[in-house]
Structure 1
Amino acid sequence: MKYNSLGLDPTKTNDIANDLNVLLANFQTYYQNLRGVHWNIKGKRFFDLHIKFEELYTDANLKVDMVAERILTLGVTPLHTFEDYTAASKVPVGKNVSQDELAVRLIVDSLTELLKIERKILDKSNEANDEGTNSMMSDFITEQEKTVWMLKAWLNETV
């Protein structure tokens, strides 16, 4: 078997990079959702949620860059057009969401989709011995599970 300069099977890393492109598209939709709820939130919880949503979109923006750079590291071009993002995204799109519980629900639903994609990538990267992607997915999953737990607690729901 021939390995690439990272010591990985190029067929497997290509497949992982394609899945990372799907994750990238979904992260971009999630990021836009967060910007939208940050801008449009109204009501008595405005101040707390406005700050929280900014924290979340700042983190999502960093993760978008990390995913794109990992795709490049694996030798593939990251998706970078809205057309590509829309075609590949499964994260629900939130339009004109201004009510607090609907905004938090949108974020939970978005993170749930991201977690599904990340777990699929984690399985593949583990099987391919791709520690770089594996580590990234593990870190993302750990953070997002905690965020889902906290947001579900805010909604007075259990995980």
Structure 2
Amino acid sequence: MKLNSIGLDAQKSQELSNDLNALLANFQTYYQNLRGIHWNIKGKRFFDLHIKFEELYTDANMKVDGIAERILTLGGVPQHTFKDYIDNSKVPVGKNVTRDEDAIRLVIDSLTELLVIERRILEASDVSNDEGTNSMMSDFISEQEKTVWMMKAWLAEEI
């Protein structure tokens, strides 16, 4: 087994880097969705949701940077073109979303997809003994589960 400069199996680190690139592509789509609903939201809940969506896209932007830096730490190269993101994203794309309930549903659906990817990375990073990636995924999952719960509560839906 060949170790990389941070003491992890080089092959497993490359595989995790690939998985993180998939997460990066999906996070970029999620981020862009949040920008769109922040800009385009209409209705009586505009003021509250406009602020909430800004909070969420600011957080997503920080996570995008963290994911890219983790890819680099593992020795990979973060994807950085829109084509890469489009080709590798499963998060639904929200276009011209203006209604409050549609916007909240888009956030939930996006986070649900991100959580699937993050849980897969969490498991792989655990097997690879990659505490850095594991910790990052664990933190993301905890935050996003709470956001899904809150968004579902806003819609008056059960988890």
Q: Give TM-score scaled by structure 2 length.
A: 0.99
Aligned residue runs from structure 1 range 69-148, under 5 A: 69-148=69-148
Query: In the alignment, is residue 9 of structure 1 matched against residue 9 of structure 2?
Result: yes
Runs of 5+ consecutive residues of structure 1 not aligned to the other structure? none
Runs of 5+ consecutive residues of structure 2 not aligned to the other structure? none
Amino acid at match of 1:10: A
Partner of 2:49: 49
Runs of 4+ in 1 over 3 A off after TM superposition: none
Aligned mates of 2:157, 2:99 — CA distance in 1: 18
Amino acid at match of 1:56: L
Aligned residue runs from structure 1 range 54-65, under 5 A: 54-65=54-65
Cα-to-partner distance string for 1:89-133 (whole Å, 9 max, x where unaligned): 000000000000000000000000000000000000000000000
Aligned mates of 1:23, 1:4 — CA distance in 2: 22
Aligned mates of 2:83, 2:3 — CA distance in 1: 33
Aligned mates of 1:100, 1:136 — CA distance in 2: 30
Aligned mates of 1:120, 1:2 — CA distance in 2: 24
**Structure 1 residue 12: deviation in Å?**
0.5
Amino acid at match of 1:139: D
Partner of 1:153: 153
